A and B are shown apart, each in its own frame.
Chain A
Amino acid sequence: MKIELNVNGKDYSIEIEEHLRLIDLLRDKLNLTGTKEGCGEGECGACTVIMDGRIVNSCLVMAFQAHKSKIITIEGVEDEDIKNAFIEEGAVQCGFCTPGMILAAKSLLDKNENPSEQDIREAISGNLCRCTGYNKIVSAIKKAAEIKRGGRNV
């Protein structure tokens, strides 16, 4: 079957198999391999993408359900503030969770540039990280929020 969708600002019209999930479409058909598959069951958040403005697990969306939707994957995140903050705060170790974390962070900061620590922890509660113990990720998101609000050195 054929679907139309917009990924990272680019329009696609592609032939897909019925059983394909959104993550398969992104990785195997569009070669956007920044989106990772961990558990494949909605538990780890490594496959997180933004679909019509909200984060979803791309392992739990069928590709045909993404018809006419607007998807943002890690490849489409132009926001350097978040990426830099992750690097500066040491929030990236093995990096497997990072694309999903950054999309969860982006989705939060798009709505709220002044999140509390609790808001941040809530926003990334669907994303597992085996390496960092989360604190560095939380600091990175705090820092990105500060940068967005203007004070580079707060």
Chain B
Amino acid sequence: MNLKACYRPLTLKEALDYLEEYKDKSKIIAGGTDLIIKLRKGNINPQVLIDISFINELKGVLEVGEYMEIGCGTTFYDLASCILLNERLKGLKDAARSVGSPQIRNRGTIGGNICNASPAADSVVPLLALDSILTLESKKGKRKIYLKDFFKDKGKTDIRDDEILTTIKFKTPTKNQGLGFYKLGLRKSLAISRISFSVFLEIDDINRIEIIRVASGSVGKFPMREYKIENYLTGRILDEDTLNTALEILEKDIYERLNGRNTARFKSIAAKGVFKKALLKALCLAKGGGKIED
């Protein structure tokens, strides 16, 4: 390690000043649960660390009009126990609860989860299904970008080295809408079995799908939207035949995406079951109740 200085700004403005000054010589640290491992392995070698975990304005959940806005410094623990997030958003809380261990959930932040851009980033999957918008800030100003456009490659995002991801926002689900999340396998299990899906669903009284957004984790280079299956399902009545066709489309799509890798077969089949669970959870919530066992 080649660290020369570490800063603990108390305001966003101060943090942006440091970032402007040190740019690519520096790294932001939030909970540190990804970054410290990379530092110690020598995967990254910054001279300066800018700790944003002391900045209160970056933490917590706010209701702003029809949107929910989550500060990048909100931990998984905070998210899982947030009373502002209603039952229709259960999928987001389930994802936060499914992360690592209590120790990791107490430190790990949503901003770190997004910026680390791991294919298995759990909170990203429901946030994609919610069609979230990120705010990135630098000394030069603010810009907004859809989360679905943020990832460029495994571990690579659209963020510049003078920018901080400050908030993540999405529309609060209302009547007939629900967000489901399901992750395969238990914690501490092998990386291969960390497939996760999240489904945002709006459905009418005769089970016609008005809106569906599907997102996956660990079946691509980064968490992503599954547009093919979304396109197929939108406007259709959700019955067994429709679901079966959708599952076939999904399996084929994922198999082709992972083609050549030895996990392609396993993952494309497993993904069907995981998607189906997430869909049923979303359906239950959209219909306003009921509980689905894991």
- Residues in chain A within 8 A of chain B (CB atoms): 1, 18-19, 21, 40-43, 45, 48, 54-57, 59-62, 64-65, 67, 104, 107, 122-123, 125-127
- Give A55's nearest chain B residue, CB to CB: B103
- The complex places the Cα of A104 from the Cα of B49 at a distance, in Å, of 29
A40 to chain B: which residues have CB within 8 Å? 40
B11 to chain A: which residues have CB within 8 Å? none
- The complex places the Cα of A54 from the Cα of B188 at a distance, in Å, of 21
Query: Which residue in A48, A54, A59, A126 is a CB contact (below 8 Å) of B100?
Result: A126
Query: Which residue in A57, A62, A123 is a CB contact (below 8 Å) of B29?
Result: A62
Q: Does B275 contact A (CB under 8 A)?
A: no
A-B contact pairs, 24 of them (CB 8 A): A1-B5, A18-B3, A18-B6, A19-B1, A21-B36, A42-B101, A42-B104, A45-B103, A48-B103, A55-B103, A57-B103, A60-B36, A60-B103, A60-B107, A61-B36, A62-B29, A64-B6, A64-B51, A65-B8, A67-B8, A126-B100, A126-B102, A126-B103, A127-B101
B77 touches A54 (CB 8 A): yes
Q: How many Cβ-Cβ contacts under 8 Å join chain A to chain B?
A: 78
B6 touches A1 (CB 8 A): yes
Nearest 9 A-B pairs (CB), nearest first? Answer: A126-B101, A18-B3, A54-B106, A19-B1, A126-B103, A64-B6, A57-B103, A19-B3, A18-B6
Q: How far is the CB of A69 from chain B (nearest CB, A)?
A: 10
A126 to chain B: which residues have CB within 8 Å? 100-104
Query: Which residue in A43, A45, A62 is a CB contact (below 8 Å) of B6?
Result: A62
Q: Does B236 contact A (CB under 8 A)?
A: no
A42 touches B103 (CB 8 A): yes
Query: Which residue in B1, B107, B188 is a CB contact (below 8 Å) of A56?
Result: B107
A18 touches B5 (CB 8 A): yes
Q: How far is the CB of B113 from chain A (nearest CB, A)?
A: 14
- The complex places the Cα of A55 from the Cα of B31 at a distance, in Å, of 13
Residues of chain B in range 13-33 having any CB-CB distance to chain A below 8 Å: 29, 31-33
- The complex places the Cα of A64 from the Cα of B31 at a distance, in Å, of 12
Q: A55-B102, A60-B36, A104-B102 are in contact. Are A125 and B187 (CB under 8 A)?
A: yes
Q: Does B198 contact A (CB under 8 A)?
A: no
- Kindly supply a per-residue 1/0 record for chain B positions 104-116, scoring 1 wherever the CB is within 8 Å of any chain A CB and 0 otherwise: 1011000000000
Q: How many residues of B contact A (CB 8 A)?
A: 27
A125 touches B51 (CB 8 A): no
B77 to chain A: which residues have CB within 8 Å? 54
- The complex places the Cα of A60 from the Cα of B32 at a distance, in Å, of 6
B102 to chain A: which residues have CB within 8 Å? 55, 104, 107, 122-123, 125-126
Q: How far is the CB of A151 from chain B (nearest CB, A)?
A: 27
Q: How far is the CB of B68 from chain A (nearest CB, A)?
A: 24
A125 touches B101 (CB 8 A): yes
Q: Does B62 contact A (CB under 8 A)?
A: no
Residues of chain B in range 31-46 having any CB-CB distance to chain A below 8 Å: 31-33, 36-37, 39-40
Q: How far is the CB of B45 from chain A (nearest CB, A)?
A: 11
- The complex places the Cα of A1 from the Cα of B40 at a distance, in Å, of 20
- Kindly supply a per-residue 1/0 record for chain B positions 34-74, scoring 1 wherever the CB is within 8 Å of any chain A CB and 0 otherwise: 00110110000000010101000000000000000000000
A122 to chain B: which residues have CB within 8 Å? 102
- The complex places the Cα of A91 from the Cα of B41 at a distance, in Å, of 34
Q: How far is the CB of B25 from chain A (nearest CB, A)?
A: 14
Q: A18-B3, A42-B100 are in contact. Are A64 and B8 (CB under 8 A)?
A: yes
A42 touches B37 (CB 8 A): yes
B53 touches A65 (CB 8 A): yes
